[in-house]
Amino acid sequence: MKNHEFNQFAIHPVVSEIITKYGFTTPTPIQQKVIPAALRGESIIGQSHTGSGKTHSYLLPLLNQLDETKNHVQFVVTAPTRELAIQIYDEVRKSIHYAEKDHRWRAKLLIGGTDKQKTVEKLKEPPHIIVGTPGRILDLVKEEALNLHQANAFVLDEADLMLDLGFIDDVDQILIRMSPEVQLLVFSATIPERLQPFLKKYLSNPTYIHIKDETPSPANMEHRLIPLRHRSASDMIISISEVIQPYLAIIFTNGKEHADRLVRELQEKGLEVGVLHGGLSPRERKRMLKELQNLRYQYIVATDLASRGIDIQGVSHVINAQMPKEEEFYIHRVGRTARAGLEGTAINLFTDENLPLVQRLEKKGISFSSYDIRNGEWKEVKAHNERQKREKTQESTVEKQAWNMVKKPKKVKPGYKKKMKRQAEKNMKKLKRNNFKKK
């Protein structure tokens, strides 16, 4: 067995063999924190970005505590979308395959859009591991086809997305049917205030792990800002489509109503686009993902569901028709491109109300360039903060002049600093008035 840094954890040889077969050598920051805490049986709130290695941070320690001699469900993993549940289940299946010589672990995927009666039949031999969406799991628990009371651990993945899509009540109904001693592992990109009542209800003194992304954007990615001004988002996207040749471009909006409206407008203007949001039926989502894999579309309009809950391959461009409200959502959106060492471009249509978000992202280390499209070509324009910079420089120069005009007291008396400051402020007002008159 190859030596790897995961051997620092108290893991069984079979799990170490799985890690070796995966080709993992060094734990990611979230794995470094979550694995030992999960092995100790602690309940965890884990906050990290997409692509941080989160899935294996909980799968590996939970596989470590599996006892195949016990004929009942031992841990449950829930995800807000069928597609994300399938991705997690694929990793579970891969781990089982890597361990198959020594162990006979059983896993089941429980999601909507599948034959329920066949699923009930298959559950007559209880699996050790359940992965699925909350609605289908709860349905089977209520029908007594599935017993979760003896499960040791429960994972809630993408908790904020679960909340946004309205599935947190189903999770609540599952948990009240499980042992009060269950180890609860909650993972979320953000911890919104609306999630707090749920967390307080089920977690007492949890281990809180927050992995801040030191490099929120890959080095091989460009971030462009385009001022929207009086123009419509659909007109600008048509202009963008004339100057880029994307392999696949995701156009993000805030909410399914905006997405549907933008799709209609773009189609009326002759751009063939797909659509992906939480309002689609499972069958429609499956068809759309298949069409994307078959390169049926170059453009797809999507909500934040696609930024985390669904794995879309080959995205070369991300276009924010509407900027998100939070930095984390921007990072998740643009994280769909510039993967596996490939280049990527994020194009952002912005208004003045988006500038605070842009400034917060710049503080995180993201560098924006400012462009517009004129006569069918990219045209570099003045930076969004150029005026602010100029005004700040002018302000600094006037302030310096104002202080230079202040008479320094020969004898220092109490309150002299306040007096000098008042004098400097008067001088500044006078200088500004004079400058204004000159203009």
Helix/strand/coil percentages in the chain, nearest 5: 45, 15, 40
Burial class (CB in 10 A: 0-12, 13-18, 19+), 262: buried
Please tell me the distance from the alpha carbon of residue 204 to that of residue 409, in angstroms, as a whole number: 62
Task: For residue 227, give the 3-state DSSP assignment.
Answer: strand
For the question of whether the overall pTM of this predicted structure is more than 0.75, the answer is: no
Give 308-343 pLDDT, tens digit per residue: 767 677 888 999 999 998 887 888 888 888 665 567
> What integer pLDDT is reported at residue 1 of this predicted model?
40
- The yes-or-no answer to whether 5-210 and 221-380 have a common fold is yes
| Closest residue by Cα to residue 82 from 35, 52, 114, 36 | 114
Secondary structure (DSSP) of 344-373: EEEEEEE-GGGHHHHHHHHHTT--EEEEEE
Q: What are phi and psi of 225, to 5 degrees?
A: -110, 130
Q: What are phi and psi of 258, to 5 degrees?
A: -60, -40
Place of tokens 């449950």: 76
Confidence of residue 3 (pLDDT cuts 50, 70, 90): very low
CB 52 within 8 A of CB 331: no
- Kindly list the domain boundaries of the chain, sorted by start residue: 5-210, 221-380, 396-438
Q: Structure tokens of 428?
A: 């500044």
DSSP 206: P
48 versus 134: the higher-pLDDT residue is 134
Confidence of residue 81 (pLDDT cuts 50, 70, 90): confident
- CATH superfamily, with its number, for domain 5-210: P-loop containing nucleotide triphosphate hydrolases (3.40.50.300)
> What integer pLDDT is reported at residue 135 of this predicted model?
93
Query: CATH for 221-380, among 3.40.50.10580, 3.10.20.340, 1.10.275.10, 3.40.50.300?
Result: 3.40.50.300
Q: Structure tokens of 80?
A: 């807000």
| Closest residue by Cα to residue 14 from 65, 90, 80, 56 | 65
Flag whether pLDDT at 235 surpasses 80: yes
> What integer pLDDT is reported at residue 2 of this predicted model?
47
State how far the alpha carbon of 284 is from the alpha carbons of 290, 305, 309, in Å. Answer: 10, 14, 16
Give 146-158 pLDDT, tens digit per residue: 999 999 999 999 8
